[in-house]
């Protein structure tokens, strides 16, 4: 197992870790019913933090930030000499955690997406992992919720008997959810991005060779150009430029900065 701790990638504290160590850390907290915040960031996730000072602060309070995208893994290796041979891809981490949860009899909760997607996801997970216990599901409200709704949701998840809660709201809403709920829900909260859609069979994944070469963004762009063109054609060059500046010492990428968010509403 590899777990070298956190390193700054443009000021976001990203863990140099592999799948085995990530699964072990999450499951240890799940078995102990301890709160934990986990996410896996690709370039878009990192840049969302870089460009939003409140989100910058949120991400740097997470217990575990995995290098989801190959360019994030490459940055850890190039800037810090971590020598990571693989990324920790959110959808793959989701499956490995589900396998561990089934093996260790740790029930899971699924929060986010739509009722239709959650229904398909439940079926797929039960087929793939016959022993898995799905303690509950709750679809996203697709709006901000007030503090009373937030507290009711936290109570529902805690009362479900789950030991893990997967959060599929998309970036950055899922990280906002995990940050705001970390002191209210006594289990690991794992922000998993598009994993729900992938594993429910409702969104196509890039071929393995494209994933290995950091071209997943191109695959997704060709599928959803109107929604994603600005994200990739603007953020990717900016990401590379800032990495070069960090390497040269021009960009001071500190992980102890940011603006404390107002913790009065929750993205649902």
Q: What is the predicted pLDDT for the residue at 219?
A: 65
Q: What is the predicted pLDDT for the residue at 210?
A: 65
pLDDT tens digits, one per residue of 228-245: 677 778 888 999 999 999
Q: What is the predicted pLDDT for the residue at 149?
A: 85
Rg of the chain over Cα atoms, rounded to whole angstroms, equals 18
Q: Are 6 and 13 in contact (CB under 8 A)?
A: yes
Say which residue, 151 or 57, is predicted with more confidence. 57
Measured CA to CA, the distance from residue 259 to residue 37 in angstroms comes to 19
Q: Are 69 and 16 in contact (CB under 8 A)?
A: no
Q: Where in the chain is the domain with CATH 3.40.50?
A: 3-204
Q: From residue 163, how far is each of 41, 104, 160 by CA, in Å?
A: 23, 11, 9
The DSSP string of 114-128 is: -HHHHHHHHHHHHHH
pLDDT tens digits, one per residue of 153-196: 999 999 999 999 999 998 899 999 999 999 999 999 999 978 88
What does pTM read for this prediction? Answer: 0.91
Measured CA to CA, the distance from residue 64 to residue 92 in angstroms comes to 16
pLDDT at 263 over 80: no
234 CA to centre of own chain: 22
The reply to whether omega before 127 is within 30° of 0 (cis) is no
Per-residue confidence at 97, pLDDT binned at 50, 70, 90?
A: very high
One of 3.40.50, 1.20.58, 3.30.420, 1.10.1060 is the CATH number of 3-204, namely 3.40.50
Say which residue, 48 or 145, is predicted with more confidence. 48
Q: Are 231 and 239 in contact (CB under 8 A)?
A: no
* Cβ neighbour number for residue 204 with a 10 Å cutoff: 11
Instruction: Enumerate the β-bridge partners of residue 39.
Output: 65, 191
Q: Are 193 and 91 in contact (CB under 8 A)?
A: yes
pLDDT tens digits, one per residue of 3-30: 999 999 999 999 999 999 999 999 999 9
């Amino acid at each position: 197992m590899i777990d070298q701790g956190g390193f700054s990638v443009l000021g976001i504290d990203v863990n140099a870790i592999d799948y085995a160590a990530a699964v072990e850390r999450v499951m240890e907290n799940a078995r102990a019913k301890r709160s934990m915040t986990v996410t896996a960031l690709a370039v878009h996730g990192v840049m969302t933090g870089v460009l939003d000072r409140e989100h910058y602060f949120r991400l740097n309070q997470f217990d575990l930030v995995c290098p989801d995208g190959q360019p994030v893994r490459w940055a850890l290796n190039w800037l810090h000499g971590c020598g990571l041979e693989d990324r920790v891809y959110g959808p793959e981490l989701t499956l490995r955690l589900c396998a561990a949860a089934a093996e260790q009899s740790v029930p899971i909760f699924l929060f986010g997406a739509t009722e239709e997607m959650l229904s398909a996801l439940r079926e797929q997970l039960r087929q793939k992992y016959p022993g898995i216990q799905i303690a509950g599901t709750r679809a996203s409200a697709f709006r901000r919720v007030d503090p009373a709704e937030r507290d009711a949701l936290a109570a529902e998840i805690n009362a479900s008997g789950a030991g893990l809660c997967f959060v599929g709201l998309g970036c950055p809403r899922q990280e906002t959810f995990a940050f705001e709920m970390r002191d209210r829900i006594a289990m690991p909260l794992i922000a998993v991005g598009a994993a729900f859609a992938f594993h429910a069979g409702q969104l196509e994944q890039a071929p393995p060779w494209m994933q290995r070469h950091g071209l997943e963004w191109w695959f997704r762009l060709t599928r959803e150009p109107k929604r994603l063109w600005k994200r990739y054609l603007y953020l990717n060059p900016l990401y590379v430029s800032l990495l070069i500046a960090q390497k040269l010492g021009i960009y001071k990428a500190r992980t102890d900065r940011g603006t404390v968010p107002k913790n009065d509403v929750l993205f649902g």
